[in-house]
Amino acid sequence: MIRPARDSDADAVAEVFLASRAAAMPYLPRLYDDEQTRAWITQVMLPTSTTWVAESTTTGEILGFAALDGSLLAHLYLRPDARRQGIGTALLTHAQQASPTGLSLRVFARNTAARAFYEHHGFRPIDSNDGSRNEENEPDITYHWPGPR
């Protein structure tokens, strides 16, 4: 079930964020410890972004989340054990419905699984960068989805 995130979801969202990045992008430097990450999610991301969570209908656990900042899909993360079950697609669909005139996002160039996912869902690369625009100093690609046709 996809629903709006609540303040009480912050710890579970942080766990998804940390586990997903560790599993999918082990090459990224660890810039912040777990406590700092939780504080950022609680004090910055949840209050300033439109965030949805994917909640298990059987266990109530948070399986993933998506955060939208205007027309920028700032985050879409899934627990590693929740991948390839349609949950990412469901979260992305909510973000697309909230931004019918289009969405943009950035993905690390080495994250080929995420790039393939977004391309499968109609996103196209429009720009690339050497990593100077992100904290990780990792080359990234900007993708854009123009809205439904």
Query: pLDDT tens-digit profile of 12-31?
Result: 999 999 999 999 888 888 88
For 149, the 3-state DSSP assignment is coil
pLDDT single digits (tens) 29-73:
888 998 999 999 999 999 999 999 999 999 999 999 999 999 999
For 146, the 3-state DSSP assignment is coil
- What pLDDT is recorded for position 84? 86
Per-domain residue ranges for the chain? Answer: 2-145
Residue from 22, 11, 90 nearest 54 by CA: 90
Q: Whole-number mean pLDDT of the chain? A: 93
pTM of the model: 0.92
* Topology of domain 2-145, CATH: Aminopeptidase (3.40.630)
Give the CA distances from residue 146 to residues 66, 76, 94, 103, 127, in Å, rounded to whole numbers and listed in that order: 19, 18, 15, 7, 15
Distance of CA 98 to the CA centre of its chain: 15
Percent of the chain with pLDDT over 90: 84
